[in-house]
Homo-oligomer: A and B are copies of this chain.
Protein backbone atom coordinates (compact mmCIF):
# COMPACT_ATOMS: atom_id res chain seq x y z
CA UNK A 1 0.00 0.00 0.00
CA UNK A 2 1.30 3.49 -0.87
CA UNK A 3 1.72 6.03 1.87
CA UNK A 4 -1.53 7.43 3.14
CA UNK A 5 -1.97 11.20 2.88
CA UNK A 6 -4.23 13.28 5.13
CA UNK A 7 -7.04 11.23 6.62
CA UNK A 8 -10.18 11.14 4.54
CA UNK A 9 -13.06 13.52 5.11
CA UNK A 10 -14.54 11.70 8.03
CA UNK A 11 -16.54 13.15 10.85
CA UNK A 12 -14.82 15.63 13.10
CA UNK A 13 -11.40 15.37 11.47
CA UNK A 14 -9.81 18.83 11.53
CA UNK A 15 -6.25 18.22 10.46
CA UNK A 16 -5.04 20.81 7.97
CA UNK A 17 -4.04 19.89 4.43
CA UNK A 18 -0.56 20.36 3.06
CA UNK A 19 -0.62 23.76 1.30
CA UNK A 20 0.07 24.26 -2.39
CA UNK A 21 3.10 26.38 -1.53
CA UNK A 22 4.56 23.69 0.76
CA UNK A 23 4.26 20.76 -1.62
CA UNK A 24 1.93 20.88 -4.59
CA UNK A 25 1.99 17.13 -5.25
CA UNK A 26 1.18 16.27 -1.69
CA UNK A 27 -1.51 18.96 -1.61
CA UNK A 28 -3.18 17.26 -4.59
CA UNK A 29 -3.25 13.92 -2.79
CA UNK A 30 -4.42 15.59 0.42
CA UNK A 31 -7.33 17.25 -1.38
CA UNK A 32 -8.43 13.89 -2.79
CA UNK A 33 -8.14 12.18 0.58
CA UNK A 34 -9.82 15.00 2.50
CA UNK A 35 -12.72 15.07 0.04
CA UNK A 36 -12.89 11.28 0.20
CA UNK A 37 -12.79 10.96 -3.59
CA UNK A 38 -10.47 8.04 -4.33
CA UNK A 39 -7.62 5.94 -3.01
CA UNK A 40 -5.02 3.51 -4.24
CA UNK A 41 -6.36 -0.02 -4.32
CA UNK A 42 -4.51 -3.16 -3.23
CA UNK A 43 -3.96 -3.85 -6.95
CA UNK A 44 -0.86 -1.99 -8.10
CA UNK A 45 -1.65 1.00 -10.25
CA UNK A 46 -5.43 0.72 -9.91
CA UNK A 47 -7.55 3.09 -7.88
CA UNK A 48 -10.81 2.80 -6.01
CA UNK A 49 -13.11 5.66 -6.98
CA UNK A 50 -15.09 6.38 -3.82
CA UNK A 51 -18.71 7.61 -3.87
CA UNK A 52 -17.80 11.32 -3.65
CA UNK A 53 -15.40 11.01 -6.57
CA UNK A 54 -17.64 8.73 -8.59
CA UNK A 55 -20.61 11.07 -8.26
CA UNK A 56 -18.54 13.71 -10.07
CA UNK A 57 -17.80 11.21 -12.85
CA UNK A 58 -21.51 10.40 -13.09
CA UNK A 59 -22.31 14.09 -13.56
CA UNK A 60 -19.62 14.38 -16.23
CA UNK A 61 -21.01 11.33 -17.99
CA UNK A 62 -24.56 12.63 -17.93
CA UNK A 63 -23.66 16.03 -19.39
CA UNK A 64 -21.25 14.72 -22.02
CA UNK A 65 -23.57 11.91 -23.02
CA UNK A 66 -26.36 14.39 -23.71
CA UNK A 67 -23.98 16.49 -25.79
CA UNK A 68 -22.83 13.45 -27.79
CA UNK A 69 -26.40 12.34 -28.44
CA UNK A 70 -27.29 15.83 -29.65
CA UNK A 71 -24.64 15.23 -32.34
CA UNK A 72 -26.36 12.02 -33.41
CA UNK A 73 -23.88 9.72 -31.66
CA UNK A 74 -25.20 6.44 -30.27
CA UNK A 75 -23.75 4.34 -27.48
CA UNK A 76 -22.76 0.72 -27.90
CA UNK A 77 -20.51 -1.79 -26.16
CA UNK A 78 -17.57 -3.78 -27.54
CA UNK A 79 -15.50 -6.53 -25.88
CA UNK A 80 -12.93 -5.85 -23.18
CA UNK A 81 -10.60 -8.30 -24.92
CA UNK A 82 -8.66 -7.71 -28.11
CA UNK A 83 -6.91 -10.56 -29.94
CA UNK A 84 -3.19 -9.78 -29.88
CA UNK A 85 -3.01 -10.06 -33.66
CA UNK A 86 -5.52 -7.20 -34.14
CA UNK A 87 -3.33 -4.76 -32.30
CA UNK A 88 -0.50 -5.51 -34.70
CA UNK A 89 -2.35 -4.64 -37.88
CA UNK A 90 -1.75 -0.88 -37.73
CA UNK A 91 2.03 -0.50 -37.37
CA UNK A 92 2.26 2.79 -35.45
CA UNK A 93 -0.66 1.82 -33.27
CA UNK A 94 0.96 -1.34 -31.93
CA UNK A 95 4.25 0.49 -31.47
CA UNK A 96 2.46 3.04 -29.29
CA UNK A 97 0.46 0.62 -27.18
CA UNK A 98 2.26 -2.72 -27.01
CA UNK A 99 4.54 -1.74 -24.09
CA UNK A 100 1.53 -0.84 -21.95
CA UNK A 101 -0.59 -3.93 -22.47
CA UNK A 102 -2.04 -6.31 -19.91
CA UNK A 103 -2.32 -9.78 -21.39
CA UNK A 104 -4.71 -12.61 -20.57
CA UNK A 105 -3.04 -15.93 -21.27
CA UNK A 106 -5.38 -18.29 -19.41
CA UNK A 107 -9.15 -18.66 -19.39
CA UNK A 108 -11.40 -21.30 -17.85
CA UNK A 109 -8.36 -23.14 -16.52
CA UNK A 110 -6.66 -23.52 -19.91
CA UNK A 111 -3.95 -21.68 -21.77
CA UNK A 112 -5.45 -19.67 -24.62
CA UNK A 113 -4.48 -20.35 -28.22
CA UNK A 114 -4.07 -16.65 -28.85
CA UNK A 115 -3.37 -14.30 -25.94
CA UNK A 116 -5.97 -11.58 -25.41
CA UNK A 117 -4.96 -8.02 -24.67
CA UNK A 118 -7.15 -5.98 -22.34
CA UNK A 119 -8.24 -2.98 -24.41
CA UNK A 120 -5.94 0.00 -24.00
CA UNK A 121 -8.27 1.68 -26.54
CA UNK A 122 -10.70 0.03 -28.93
CA UNK A 123 -9.90 1.13 -32.48
CA UNK A 124 -8.83 -2.33 -33.59
CA UNK A 125 -11.70 -4.44 -32.25
CA UNK A 126 -14.32 -1.87 -33.20
CA UNK A 127 -13.09 -1.37 -36.75
CA UNK A 128 -12.89 -5.09 -37.39
CA UNK A 129 -16.58 -5.22 -36.46
CA UNK A 130 -17.40 -2.04 -38.39
CA UNK A 131 -15.99 -3.67 -41.54
CA UNK A 132 -18.95 -6.10 -41.41
CA UNK A 133 -21.51 -3.40 -40.67
CA UNK A 134 -20.70 -0.95 -43.41
CA UNK A 135 -21.64 -1.69 -47.01
CA UNK A 136 -22.87 1.46 -48.68
CA UNK A 137 -22.60 5.22 -48.31
CA UNK A 138 -26.12 4.99 -46.87
CA UNK A 139 -24.63 3.31 -43.79
CA UNK A 140 -22.52 6.43 -43.19
CA UNK A 141 -21.77 8.36 -41.15
CA UNK A 142 -21.50 5.71 -38.46
CA UNK A 143 -21.33 7.55 -35.13
CA UNK A 144 -20.68 5.31 -32.13
CA UNK A 145 -19.50 5.96 -28.59
CA UNK A 146 -18.63 3.59 -25.78
CA UNK A 147 -18.33 4.24 -22.03
CA UNK A 148 -15.83 1.74 -20.73
CA UNK A 149 -12.83 0.84 -18.63
CA UNK A 150 -9.44 0.57 -20.31
CA UNK A 151 -6.06 -0.67 -19.09
CA UNK A 152 -2.61 0.74 -19.80
CA UNK A 153 0.17 -0.65 -17.69
CA UNK A 154 1.73 2.31 -15.90
CA UNK A 155 4.85 2.31 -13.79
CA UNK A 156 4.25 5.63 -12.05
CA UNK A 157 0.65 6.24 -11.19
CA UNK A 158 -1.16 9.22 -9.74
CA UNK A 159 -4.80 9.15 -8.66
CA UNK A 160 -7.09 10.19 -11.53
CA UNK A 161 -4.20 11.54 -13.64
CA UNK A 162 -2.48 8.32 -14.53
CA UNK A 163 -3.68 4.89 -13.41
CA UNK A 164 -3.36 1.44 -14.90
CA UNK A 165 -7.11 1.07 -15.22
CA UNK A 166 -9.23 4.10 -15.88
CA UNK A 167 -12.74 4.94 -17.01
CA UNK A 168 -13.41 6.85 -20.18
CA UNK A 169 -15.54 7.29 -23.24
CA UNK A 170 -14.24 6.59 -26.70
CA UNK A 171 -16.10 7.78 -29.77
CA UNK A 172 -15.38 6.06 -33.10
CA UNK A 173 -16.89 7.31 -36.33
CA UNK A 174 -16.72 6.51 -40.02
CA UNK A 175 -17.46 9.02 -42.77
CA UNK A 176 -17.68 9.06 -46.54
CA UNK A 177 -15.08 11.81 -47.02
CA UNK A 178 -11.96 13.12 -45.35
CA UNK A 179 -13.50 16.60 -45.13
CA UNK A 180 -16.52 15.32 -43.31
CA UNK A 181 -14.37 13.24 -40.94
CA UNK A 182 -12.13 16.19 -40.22
CA UNK A 183 -15.11 18.47 -39.54
CA UNK A 184 -16.58 15.89 -37.21
CA UNK A 185 -13.31 15.46 -35.29
CA UNK A 186 -13.25 19.22 -34.81
CA UNK A 187 -16.92 19.32 -33.83
CA UNK A 188 -16.24 16.81 -31.07
CA UNK A 189 -13.25 18.84 -29.92
CA UNK A 190 -15.64 21.77 -29.69
CA UNK A 191 -17.95 19.64 -27.51
CA UNK A 192 -15.00 19.00 -25.21
CA UNK A 193 -14.04 22.68 -25.15
CA UNK A 194 -17.58 23.69 -24.30
CA UNK A 195 -17.80 21.06 -21.60
CA UNK A 196 -14.43 22.00 -20.07
CA UNK A 197 -15.16 25.71 -20.08
CA UNK A 198 -18.88 25.81 -19.33
CA UNK A 199 -19.20 22.89 -16.93
CA UNK A 200 -15.76 22.38 -15.42
CA UNK A 201 -15.00 26.13 -15.57
CA UNK A 202 -11.55 25.32 -16.97
CA UNK A 203 -10.40 27.58 -19.81
CA UNK A 204 -8.65 25.49 -22.43
CA UNK A 205 -6.49 26.07 -25.46
CA UNK A 206 -7.69 24.25 -28.56
CA UNK A 207 -5.33 23.23 -31.29
CA UNK A 208 -3.39 20.55 -33.10
CA UNK A 209 -0.71 18.28 -31.63
CA UNK A 210 2.73 18.12 -33.17
CA UNK A 211 3.52 14.86 -34.97
CA UNK A 212 5.54 13.55 -32.03
CA UNK A 213 2.67 14.10 -29.64
CA UNK A 214 -0.19 12.80 -31.76
CA UNK A 215 -2.11 9.57 -31.22
CA UNK A 216 -0.43 6.37 -32.43
CA UNK A 217 -2.08 5.75 -35.77
CA UNK A 218 -3.74 9.15 -36.34
CA UNK A 219 -3.26 11.55 -39.23
CA UNK A 220 -3.86 14.49 -36.91
CA UNK A 221 -4.70 14.90 -33.22
CA UNK A 222 -6.73 17.83 -31.93
CA UNK A 223 -6.66 18.58 -28.22
CA UNK A 224 -7.83 20.78 -25.40
CA UNK A 225 -5.16 21.84 -22.93
CA UNK A 226 -5.78 23.35 -19.51
CA UNK A 227 -3.32 25.06 -17.19
CA UNK A 228 -3.11 23.85 -13.61
CA UNK A 229 -2.26 26.01 -10.59
CA UNK A 230 1.35 24.86 -10.53
CA UNK A 231 1.83 26.15 -14.06
CA UNK A 232 1.80 22.71 -15.63
CA UNK A 233 -0.43 21.92 -18.58
CA UNK A 234 -2.90 19.08 -18.64
CA UNK A 235 -4.29 17.49 -21.80
CA UNK A 236 -7.97 17.22 -20.98
CA UNK A 237 -9.34 15.66 -24.15
CA UNK A 238 -8.29 14.61 -27.64
CA UNK A 239 -10.04 14.12 -30.95
CA UNK A 240 -8.22 12.31 -33.74
CA UNK A 241 -8.59 12.39 -37.48
CA UNK A 242 -7.55 8.83 -38.28
CA UNK A 243 -7.81 9.24 -42.04
CA UNK A 244 -7.85 5.86 -43.77
CA UNK A 245 -5.00 4.30 -41.76
CA UNK A 246 -7.19 1.96 -39.75
CA UNK A 247 -9.76 1.58 -42.53
CA UNK A 248 -7.03 0.06 -44.68
CA UNK A 249 -5.78 -2.18 -41.87
CA UNK A 250 -9.29 -3.41 -41.03
CA UNK A 251 -10.91 -3.26 -44.43
CA UNK A 252 -13.55 -0.67 -43.55
CA UNK A 253 -14.96 -0.07 -47.03
CA UNK A 254 -18.16 1.26 -48.57
CA UNK A 255 -19.73 1.64 -51.99
CA UNK A 256 -20.10 5.33 -52.78
CA UNK A 257 -23.11 6.83 -54.58
CA UNK A 258 -21.41 6.01 -57.89
CA UNK A 259 -21.06 2.38 -56.91
CA UNK A 260 -17.30 2.57 -56.47
CA UNK A 261 -15.64 0.97 -53.45
CA UNK A 262 -13.75 3.33 -51.11
CA UNK A 263 -12.13 3.09 -47.72
CA UNK A 264 -13.93 4.95 -44.92
CA UNK A 265 -12.54 8.08 -43.27
CA UNK A 266 -12.42 7.76 -39.52
CA UNK A 267 -12.23 9.69 -36.26
CA UNK A 268 -11.86 8.74 -32.62
CA UNK A 269 -12.12 10.98 -29.56
CA UNK A 270 -12.06 10.52 -25.82
CA UNK A 271 -12.01 11.96 -22.34
CA UNK A 272 -11.43 10.05 -19.13
CA UNK A 273 -11.53 10.15 -15.34
CA UNK A 274 -8.39 12.27 -15.76
CA UNK A 275 -10.83 15.18 -16.05
CA UNK A 276 -11.46 14.78 -12.32
CA UNK A 277 -7.76 15.40 -11.73
CA UNK A 278 -7.95 18.51 -13.90
CA UNK A 279 -10.99 19.71 -11.99
CA UNK A 280 -9.20 19.32 -8.67
CA UNK A 281 -6.03 21.08 -9.76
CA UNK A 282 -7.75 23.93 -11.58
CA UNK A 283 -9.89 25.26 -8.72
CA UNK A 284 -9.13 23.76 -5.34
CA UNK A 285 -7.40 25.70 -2.56
CA UNK A 286 -5.53 25.05 0.65
CA UNK A 287 -8.79 24.27 2.45
CA UNK A 288 -9.62 21.46 0.01
CA UNK A 289 -11.73 20.73 -3.02
CA UNK A 290 -13.60 23.50 -4.84
CA UNK A 291 -16.27 22.33 -7.29
CA UNK A 292 -17.96 24.37 -10.01
CA UNK A 293 -21.71 24.29 -9.32
CA UNK A 294 -22.66 22.86 -12.71
CA UNK A 295 -20.64 19.70 -12.06
CA UNK A 296 -21.01 19.48 -8.26
CA UNK A 297 -23.09 16.41 -7.29
CA UNK A 298 -24.21 18.38 -4.24
CA UNK A 299 -24.58 22.09 -4.95
CA UNK A 300 -25.92 23.15 -1.58
CA UNK A 301 -25.50 21.63 1.85
CA UNK A 302 -27.87 22.73 4.56
CA UNK A 303 -26.65 22.46 8.13
CA UNK A 304 -29.42 22.68 10.70
CA UNK A 305 -28.24 24.00 14.06
CA UNK A 306 -30.18 23.24 17.21
CA UNK A 307 -29.70 22.44 20.86
CA UNK A 308 -32.83 20.87 22.30
CA UNK A 309 -35.01 18.25 20.68
CA UNK A 310 -37.77 20.84 20.16
CA UNK A 311 -35.35 23.13 18.39
CA UNK A 312 -34.24 20.25 16.19
CA UNK A 313 -37.82 19.53 15.19
CA UNK A 314 -38.57 23.17 14.43
CA UNK A 315 -35.38 23.73 12.45
CA UNK A 316 -35.75 20.49 10.51
CA UNK A 317 -39.33 21.35 9.55
CA UNK A 318 -38.10 24.62 8.03
CA UNK A 319 -35.16 22.91 6.37
CA UNK A 320 -37.54 20.42 4.78
CA UNK A 321 -39.46 23.35 3.25
CA UNK A 322 -36.23 24.63 1.72
CA UNK A 323 -35.33 21.23 0.37
CA UNK A 324 -38.64 21.03 -1.45
CA UNK A 325 -38.29 24.52 -2.89
CA UNK A 326 -34.69 23.80 -3.90
CA UNK A 327 -35.62 20.51 -5.52
CA UNK A 328 -38.25 22.30 -7.59
CA UNK A 329 -35.67 24.89 -8.58
CA UNK A 330 -33.37 22.04 -9.70
CA UNK A 331 -30.79 22.72 -6.99
CA UNK A 332 -29.01 19.55 -5.86
CA UNK A 333 -29.27 19.72 -2.08
CA UNK A 334 -28.11 17.68 0.87
CA UNK A 335 -28.98 18.11 4.56
CA UNK A 336 -26.42 17.23 7.21
CA UNK A 337 -28.52 15.89 10.07
CA UNK A 338 -25.73 14.32 12.11
CA UNK A 339 -26.63 15.78 15.50
CA UNK A 340 -23.75 14.01 17.20
CA UNK A 341 -21.34 16.38 15.42
CA UNK A 342 -20.86 20.06 16.25
CA UNK A 343 -21.41 22.62 13.44
CA UNK A 344 -17.70 23.57 13.22
CA UNK A 345 -16.40 20.19 12.13
CA UNK A 346 -19.35 19.86 9.73
CA UNK A 347 -18.52 23.18 8.08
CA UNK A 348 -14.94 22.05 7.79
CA UNK A 349 -15.93 18.72 6.27
CA UNK A 350 -18.17 20.22 3.58
CA UNK A 351 -15.53 22.81 2.81
CA UNK A 352 -13.03 20.01 2.18
CA UNK A 353 -15.60 18.30 -0.04
CA UNK A 354 -15.93 21.40 -2.20
CA UNK A 355 -19.70 21.92 -1.98
CA UNK A 356 -20.28 25.35 -3.59
CA UNK A 357 -22.83 26.74 -1.12
CA UNK A 358 -23.38 26.06 2.58
CA UNK A 359 -26.51 27.20 4.36
CA UNK A 360 -26.70 27.35 8.16
CA UNK A 361 -30.01 27.68 9.89
CA UNK A 362 -30.70 27.75 13.61
CA UNK A 363 -33.41 28.92 16.04
CA UNK A 364 -32.35 32.59 15.74
CA UNK A 365 -32.62 32.42 11.96
CA UNK A 366 -36.07 30.89 12.32
CA UNK A 367 -37.12 33.85 14.46
CA UNK A 368 -35.64 36.34 11.97
CA UNK A 369 -36.90 34.58 8.83
CA UNK A 370 -33.39 34.39 7.44
CA UNK A 371 -30.53 31.97 6.89
CA UNK A 372 -26.76 32.29 6.77
CA UNK A 373 -25.29 31.46 3.37
CA UNK A 374 -21.56 30.84 2.72
CA UNK A 375 -19.75 30.59 -0.63
CA UNK A 376 -17.05 27.98 -0.98
CA UNK A 377 -15.06 29.85 -3.63
CA UNK A 378 -14.56 33.15 -1.75
CA UNK A 379 -15.51 32.13 1.82
CA UNK A 380 -17.89 35.10 1.83
CA UNK A 381 -20.86 34.80 4.20
CA UNK A 382 -24.17 36.59 3.86
CA UNK A 383 -27.53 36.71 5.62
CA UNK A 384 -30.43 36.06 3.26
CA UNK A 385 -34.19 36.38 3.84
CA UNK A 386 -35.89 32.98 3.70
CA UNK A 387 -38.37 34.18 1.07
CA UNK A 388 -35.51 34.96 -1.30
CA UNK A 389 -33.43 31.90 -0.55
CA UNK A 390 -34.09 29.79 -3.65
CA UNK A 391 -33.72 32.69 -6.08
CA UNK A 392 -30.64 34.06 -4.33
CA UNK A 393 -28.99 30.66 -4.17
CA UNK A 394 -29.69 30.07 -7.85
CA UNK A 395 -28.03 33.38 -8.68
CA UNK A 396 -25.17 32.63 -6.34
CA UNK A 397 -24.49 29.28 -8.01
CA UNK A 398 -24.25 31.03 -11.37
CA UNK A 399 -21.96 33.64 -9.86
CA UNK A 400 -19.67 30.98 -8.42
CA UNK A 401 -19.55 29.15 -11.75
CA UNK A 402 -18.53 32.38 -13.51
CA UNK A 403 -16.08 33.37 -10.81
CA UNK A 404 -14.23 30.06 -10.98
CA UNK A 405 -13.88 30.31 -14.73
CA UNK A 406 -12.75 33.94 -14.56
CA UNK A 407 -10.25 33.17 -11.82
CA UNK A 408 -8.78 30.29 -13.80
CA UNK A 409 -8.67 32.40 -16.95
CA UNK A 410 -6.91 35.21 -15.09
CA UNK A 411 -4.38 32.70 -13.80
CA UNK A 412 -3.81 31.39 -17.30
CA UNK A 413 -3.43 34.87 -18.76
CA UNK A 414 -0.89 35.71 -16.07
CA UNK A 415 0.98 32.51 -16.85
CA UNK A 416 1.09 32.77 -20.61
CA UNK A 417 4.04 34.50 -22.23
CA UNK A 418 5.47 34.94 -25.70
CA UNK A 419 9.18 34.20 -25.56
CA UNK A 420 11.53 34.24 -28.51
CA UNK A 421 14.77 33.78 -26.57
CA UNK A 422 15.74 30.23 -25.57
CA UNK A 423 17.72 31.40 -22.51
CA UNK A 424 14.71 33.21 -21.12
CA UNK A 425 12.50 30.24 -22.07
CA UNK A 426 14.68 27.92 -19.98
CA UNK A 427 14.57 30.22 -16.97
CA UNK A 428 10.79 30.59 -17.12
CA UNK A 429 10.29 26.84 -17.39
CA UNK A 430 12.48 26.38 -14.35
CA UNK A 431 11.25 29.20 -12.09
CA UNK A 432 7.63 29.99 -12.90
CA UNK A 433 6.27 27.71 -15.60
CA UNK A 434 3.09 28.20 -17.58
CA UNK A 435 2.18 28.35 -21.25
CA UNK A 436 4.99 29.78 -23.34
CA UNK A 437 4.38 30.68 -26.98
CA UNK A 438 7.57 30.39 -28.97
CA UNK A 439 8.72 30.03 -32.55
CA UNK A 440 9.46 26.48 -33.68
CA UNK A 441 10.79 25.32 -37.03
CA UNK A 442 8.49 22.31 -37.20
CA UNK A 443 11.30 19.78 -36.86
CA UNK A 444 10.77 16.91 -34.41
CA UNK A 445 14.48 16.98 -33.52
CA UNK A 446 14.23 20.54 -32.21
CA UNK A 447 11.10 19.61 -30.28
CA UNK A 448 12.96 16.67 -28.71
CA UNK A 449 15.96 18.82 -27.84
CA UNK A 450 13.77 21.39 -26.06
CA UNK A 451 11.99 18.62 -24.21
CA UNK A 452 15.25 17.06 -23.09
CA UNK A 453 16.74 20.33 -21.94
CA UNK A 454 13.71 21.91 -20.29
CA UNK A 455 11.12 19.13 -19.81
CA UNK A 456 8.71 21.35 -21.76
CA UNK A 457 6.70 19.77 -24.56
CA UNK A 458 4.65 21.26 -27.34
CA UNK A 459 1.10 21.20 -25.97
CA UNK A 460 -0.48 22.32 -29.20
CA UNK A 461 -0.37 24.52 -32.25
CA UNK A 462 -3.40 26.63 -31.31
CA UNK A 463 -6.18 27.27 -33.83
CA UNK A 464 -6.41 30.95 -32.98
CA UNK A 465 -2.73 31.85 -33.06
CA UNK A 466 -1.70 33.90 -36.08
CA UNK A 467 1.50 32.88 -37.79
CA UNK A 468 4.34 35.24 -36.98
CA UNK A 469 7.87 35.40 -38.23
CA UNK A 470 10.52 34.26 -35.76
CA UNK A 471 13.49 31.99 -35.22
CA UNK A 472 13.17 28.45 -33.87
CA UNK A 473 14.09 28.27 -30.18
CA UNK A 474 16.32 25.28 -30.70
CA UNK A 475 18.00 25.70 -34.10
CA UNK A 476 17.52 29.38 -34.87
CA UNK A 477 16.07 28.69 -38.30
CA UNK A 478 13.51 31.16 -39.62
CA UNK A 479 9.90 30.00 -39.21
CA UNK A 480 6.32 31.23 -39.18
CA UNK A 481 5.14 28.49 -36.81
CA UNK A 482 4.39 29.33 -33.22
CA UNK A 483 3.85 26.55 -30.72
CA UNK A 484 2.57 26.54 -27.15
CA UNK A 485 5.09 24.90 -24.84
CA UNK A 486 4.63 23.84 -21.24
CA UNK A 487 5.66 21.26 -18.72
CA UNK A 488 2.78 18.85 -18.57
CA UNK A 489 1.04 16.13 -16.61
Interface residues, chain A, with chain B CB atoms under 8 Å away:
11, 39, 41-43, 46-51, 54-55, 57-58, 74-83, 86, 98-109, 115-116, 118, 125, 128-129, 138, 144, 148-149, 151, 153-155, 164-165, 167, 340
Contacts and interface: CB of A to CB of B under 8 A. Distances in A.
B80 A104 contact: no
B42 A129 contact: yes
B74 A48 contact: no
Contacts of A107: 101-103, 153, 164
A58 B149 CA distance: 17
Given A57-B77, A108-B155, 4 more contacts: A99-B108, A100-B108, A108-B154, A138-B340
A111 to B, nearest CB: 10
A220 B131 CA distance: 47
14 contacts: A41-B125, A42-B86, A46-B80, A47-B79, A48-B76, A48-B78, A49-B76, A50-B76, A80-B118, A101-B107, A102-B116, A103-B105, A104-B105, A106-B115
Interface of A is mostly: mixed
B83 A42 contact: yes
A285 B180 CA distance: 41
Contacts of A76: 48-51, 54
A151 B80 contact: yes
A473 to B, nearest CB: 34
Contacts of A164: 107
B48 A75 contact: no
A42 B125 contact: yes
Contact of A104 (B41, B74, B78, B102): B102
A104 B116 CA distance: 9
Given A149-B149, A165-B80, A102 B106 contact: yes
A333 to B, nearest CB: 14
A118 B104 contact: yes
A117 to B, nearest CB: 10
A248 B78 CA distance: 37
Contacts of A105: 103-106
A54 B42 contact: no
B149 A43 contact: no
Given A51-B75, A51-B144, A128 B80 contact: no
A11 B139 CA distance: 10
A327 to B, nearest CB: 14
Contact of A79 (B43, B82, B118, B153): B43
A270 to B, nearest CB: 17
